[in-house]
Structure 1
Amino acid sequence: MATSSESQKQSFIPEDMTVGFIGAGRMAQAMARGLISTGVIKPRNITASDTDPRMLNYIKELGVHITEDNTQVVERSKLIVIAVKPNVVRLVLKDISRVMSADKVLVSIAAGIPISTIEQELPPKTRVIRVMPNTPALVQAAASVLAPGTGVLPGDSELVQELLQCIGICEAGSEKLLDAVTGLSGSGPAYAFAAIEALSDGGVKMGLPRDLAIKLAAQTLLGAAKMVLETKKHPGQLKDEVCSPGGTTITAMHVLEKGGFRGALIDAVEAATLKARELGSMN
């Protein structure tokens, strides 16, 4: 019987995989929803903690177990996601250090917090992986990059990557890249939302109904992104293919260039990257 390479591909996710989220904010909710909606993790196998009752109520709607006790999250889970603000990461790590064991993997999505800082607060050889995802995990369209710590075992990175690929794309890379990843794809959805809003404002100014303008702007960015990913062409080439000589698009591109459009985006990525580094040095 013929078998495809896809069917032969090894899965690193156990059937009884348990996942815990310390911090139940937007990112944790997005990741949990994505894992549940793809059927990879059952709601009963997810535990979440938070100090904010509102966040716990939101994530509870997914059918997951909730608690205010971070140590309970660790005790109930094989993979623990640290999804709190960078300024409280150390406090959380101190809280859970005594219940961390060698059979668990800890994933941090806290911006700017280096693996070395995390490892210092936990028992020796703790299996730590740092990840920078983004909020489109909510619609299974996340862009994530992971970097393994010194204590990971064979298969740990593959497990985390496979889980994250259920909610988008996930690439493995060096930790030194993660601050730049934060500046680009971590903060990037906000840049895209601002672009959609501005494009729709332009449409409204020119007479389009607001709902139609937003739908057209959003679909245009979605379609352009799919063209880049699926054709493998350089975005500059695709842009040139739309710009007919003397046409409307090249005229519009001239206005964007005069307004510093590309430079502003580059500056935004740089500023967010530097802020991520600053957060890391402060914590």
Structure 2
Amino acid sequence: MDKRIGFIGVGKMAQTIITGLVESFDGINELIFITNRTRSKGEIFSQEKRINLCDDNLALVNNSDVIFLSIKPDQYHGVLEEIKDFVRDDQIIVSMAAGIAIKDLENYFTSDKKILRIMPNVAVAVREGITVISQNKKVLDHELKLVVDLLNSIGKVDVIEEAMIDMVTTVSGCSPAFVAQFAEALADGAVLQGVPRDKAYQFAAQALLGTAKMLLELQLHPGELKDLVTSPGGVTVQGVATLEKLGFRGAVIEAMEACGRKIQELAE
């Protein structure tokens, strides 16, 4: 790896990506540059990972070949106004914000820039997440491959059309919160019947992990896996029927639609 990589902002997701890079590529820490609005936080993280802390965003832009915008959506305007006249045509900009389209970034620049948009999910923290990525027409194949290779250090990567990225955000980015709620509810139900709390969480989490692996590795349809577990007149089908009566699937779909509406609000 010989490309210099900059991160404007070192929140949790940026820290996860940087940690993955440092652990996957020997010597890459010398090629990583960061800035952070709270400088003390940036100093602590830069010392921990032995990476470079820049004095300001312009210094970072000057020192980077790939620039990750790892800031909140409401900070994009200020940062882009600050750096727009200093970004070179050969640099790659990687956006990580929900609701901000590639064309929104393109509008800040007077010349065509290489822009990618990514959406990781929280499971990249344990290298089991997936990051979706889209690019504009200025990004060349080898440049896309470069960013994909970087992101492979924290999990799986899938290249998709940008028109899908907001929809994927709900099923991939938001869903860990729903799954965690489900795991907590499973544990509460077990505790209600006398299972110790720590054991209940362990059993629920392992069941979710095993189920996910069966869906992915055995390529089972979710309905097929459900049918494997539900014997006629058995215990599981009673629970399945109860969830259906209470609108379980409908509630999940409504939650995803609510997330989609919020993404649209951010975009507007």
| Fold shared per TM-score above 0.5 | yes
In structure 2, stretches of 5+ residues that fail to align are none
Q: Distance in 2 between matches of 1:188 and 1:45?
A: 34
Matched, 1:180 2:163: no
**Corresponding residue number in structure 1 for 2:140:** 153
Across the aligned residues of Structure 1 and Structure 2, the Cα RMSD in angstroms comes to: 1.7
Indicate if the aligned counterparts of 2:89 and 2:111 stay in contact, CA closer than 8 A.
no
In the superposition, relative to structure 1, how do residues 142 and 73 fare at CA in structure 2: closer, same or farther (>3 Å)?
A: farther
**Corresponding residue number in structure 2 for 1:33:** 19
**Corresponding residue number in structure 2 for 1:3:** none
The number of residues matched between the two structures is: 267
146-155 vs 101-110, which moves further = 146-155
Matched, 1:47 2:33: yes
Q: Distance in 1 between matches of 2:253 and 2:41?
A: 34
15-24 vs 171-180, which moves further = 15-24
One-letter amino acid of the counterpart of residue 113, structure 2: T
Deviations 1:89-133, CA, capped at 9 Å, x for gaps: 121111111221122111001100011110111341210001111
Q: Distance in 2 between matches of 1:259 and 1:34?
A: 41
Match of 1:276 among 260, 263, 267: 263
Q: Distance in 2 between matches of 1:20 and 1:214?
A: 38
- In the TM superposition, 1:101-120 aligns within 5 A as 101-120=88-107
**Corresponding residue number in structure 2 for 1:207:** 194
In structure 1, stretches of 5+ residues that fail to align are 1-14
Partner of 1:146, secondary structure, is strand
Match of 2:209 among 212, 215, 222: 222
Q: Distance in 2 between matches of 1:156 and 1:274?
A: 32
Partner of 1:187, secondary structure, is helix
Q: Distance in 2 between matches of 1:249 and 1:82?
A: 46
In the superposition, relative to structure 1, how do residues 99 and 202 fare at CA in structure 2: closer, same or farther (>3 Å)?
A: same
In the superposition, relative to structure 1, how do residues 40 and 255 fare at CA in structure 2: closer, same or farther (>3 Å)?
A: farther
Q: Normalising by structure 2, what TM-score?
A: 0.93
Indicate if the aligned counterparts of 2:90 and 2:113 stay in contact, CA closer than 8 A.
no
Q: Distance in 2 between matches of 1:264 and 1:68?
A: 47
**Corresponding residue number in structure 1 for 2:86:** 99
Indicate if the aligned counterparts of 1:40 and 1:166 stay in contact, CA closer than 8 A.
no
**Corresponding residue number in structure 2 for 1:130:** 117
Partner of 2:93, secondary structure, is strand
One-letter amino acid of the counterpart of residue 88, structure 2: S
Identity %: 39
One-letter amino acid of the counterpart of residue 50, structure 1: N
Match of 2:244 among 240, 257, 263: 257
Partner of 2:85, secondary structure, is helix
One-letter amino acid of the counterpart of residue 13, structure 2: M
Matched, 1:85 2:72: yes
Indicate if the aligned counterparts of 2:96 and 2:117 stay in contact, CA closer than 8 A.
yes
Deviations 1:25-49, CA, capped at 9 Å, x for gaps: 1111111122222236722222221
In the superposition, relative to structure 1, how do residues 84 and 203 fare at CA in structure 2: closer, same or farther (>3 Å)?
A: same
Q: Kindly state the Cα deviation for residue 56 of structure 1 after the two structures are TM-superposed.
A: 2.1
Q: Normalising by structure 1, what TM-score?
A: 0.89
Indicate if the aligned counterparts of 1:30 and 1:136 stay in contact, CA closer than 8 A.
no
